[in-house]
A and B are shown apart, each in its own frame.
Chain A
């Protein structure tokens, strides 16, 4: 698969194991800021930790306070190392920027269909590309 071009939203370069969800994520109430575990019981990632992963999901949702929850997670070293969105929206985009988490969206191929959980993925938020390692 190699390199998939997209759009740069938040700067930085990081790689890690992908965690892919087809559902939007609300960081406020959806992810525990003390552990990084998805606590929204109705979410398909319920019980899994986003920490250290390249988190792949369609877009954020819910309260704008979610921006701060993502920041809190990252400050504790429990945030995702990078984020790939189908189309970024302000809650997660701003959260990623203030936390220094690279974020790329609008990939040439749909990331949710293309990427699989467990794959090693590199996200380059400076150039706006994703690379499957």
Chain B
């Protein structure tokens, strides 16, 4: 493939993977079964990224394994409502056309595991979105490093990834043991825990003891760990499919007071904001169902934007959740999210979120103030019974 018998694009992609293998000390490449590519929003990669992807597609690059992409900067069907300028829409469309030409599934979600892409225990994949990487490794037991947009794309084109890091069981061992002595009752509590631990964990594998998270909680915990830290893998005792602890791990104890302080850092005590944004990572059908139950026979007093994938939205349509949320005054956007769409340019200056990841990134990436609180609290405060 490197020699060019599969064409220029495959040869280039292979050259990149070989070089990355050298840099990371990988002895060889390993076959992978899927790729999840970041670097999709025009807000993030701009014209430079659009040019590169377009050229690559023109050169005949085609994916060889099932490949998925992160959210874009706009809802493909409702971008007019989002008040985006012409240049943004054109740039975004160029990026999406390039991915489509290469045969990438326009999944436009950061949570492919919610649309049926669930690699098995021990399966090698090449995923880039940090919250998806940590979910695949920790909750599903699949094996992936934290890929970049380009390296994941190269894996999509070749079907290979460098064999190092989290592809080796010997590296899937926790060196930080976190003992939690706090009551965690809502996904946002797990998000705050992840945010707190991420700050000290850096790139280490983390093992948690003393918690009993649901799948929704694990998703929130992982997304936060991968935001404040560069964590790609964590274990929860008696919960996750893997549990390996080094002989002498560093031990950290987390108390309720630590979590209160962390929540305050993320806007836990901030004043109420203009707009509610839910779905970072993309809302699951369970989360949308929960939202619909809270909003039944209620009317919102401020805008509510829910972000999810098109597949989950269509499930929500069928189950009647979309109607309840829209009747209450909320909107469900697909293909995008509050972090990668130019929400500041849409005239929004403060948001309320139930996600530590959104609370961490939005002030930096979208220049908005953030209030963090549990979903139910946010919605009840911003709605009245009808």
Contact = CB atoms under 8 A, between A and B. Distances in A.
Interface of A: 7, 9-11, 33, 64-65, 67-69, 71-72, 75, 88-91, 93-94, 97-98
Given A11-B15, A94-B148, A97-B12, A65 B46 contact: yes
Contacts of A71: 48, 51-52
B22 interface: yes
B148 A64 contact: yes
A68 B38 CA distance: 13
A68 B151 CA distance: 13
A94 B150 contact: yes
B46 A10 contact: no
Contacts of B148: 64, 67, 90-91, 94
A53 B48 CA distance: 21
A68 B46 contact: yes
Given A9-B22, A90-B20, A94-B150, A65 B15 contact: no
A68 B16 contact: no
Given A71-B48, A90-B148, A7 B15 contact: no
Range class of the B interface residue count: 20 to 34
A75 B48 CA distance: 10
A35 B11 CA distance: 30
A69 B23 contact: no
Contact of B23 (A67, A93, A98): A93
Nearest to A70: B48
Contacts of B363: none
A9 B20 CA distance: 9
In the A-B complex, the 7 residue pairs with the closest CB atoms: A68-B48, A72-B48, A68-B49, A64-B148, A9-B19, A97-B16, A94-B150
Nearest to A71: B52
Contacts of A65: 39, 44-46, 48-49
B20 A98 contact: no
A67 B148 CA distance: 10
